Amino acid sequence: MDGGTIVAPNGEIVAKSVSEEDEVVCFNADIDLANDLKKTMFNFAAHRRPEHYKLIVERVGAEVTPAEGP
């Protein structure tokens, strides 16, 4: 079983526990790095592509078309 881990917004593991006992894991986070990533990589509003999920948004319910018999 893994102990506690702190992961940076870029996916890097920056701190982790050293045992499976109770312990506190601390890390001095660079908030400016998080803000920079939020403006670039994680800027979901800028990278949103609603045309790719248009069918999901427009559909109210599924309609089943009966298969044609032989």
Q: Could you tell me the two tokens for 29?
A: 């986070």
Asked whether residue 66 carries a pLDDT value surpassing 70, the answer given is: yes
Name the nearest CA neighbour of 38 among 7, 10, 12, 5. 10
DSSP string covering the chain: ----EEE-TTS-EEEE-SSSSS--------HHHHHHHHHTTT-HHHH--GGGGHHHHH--S--PPPPPP-
More confident residue, 57 or 70: 57
Confidence band, pLDDT 50/70/90 cuts, at residue 14: very high
Asked whether residue 13 carries a pLDDT value surpassing 60, the answer given is: yes
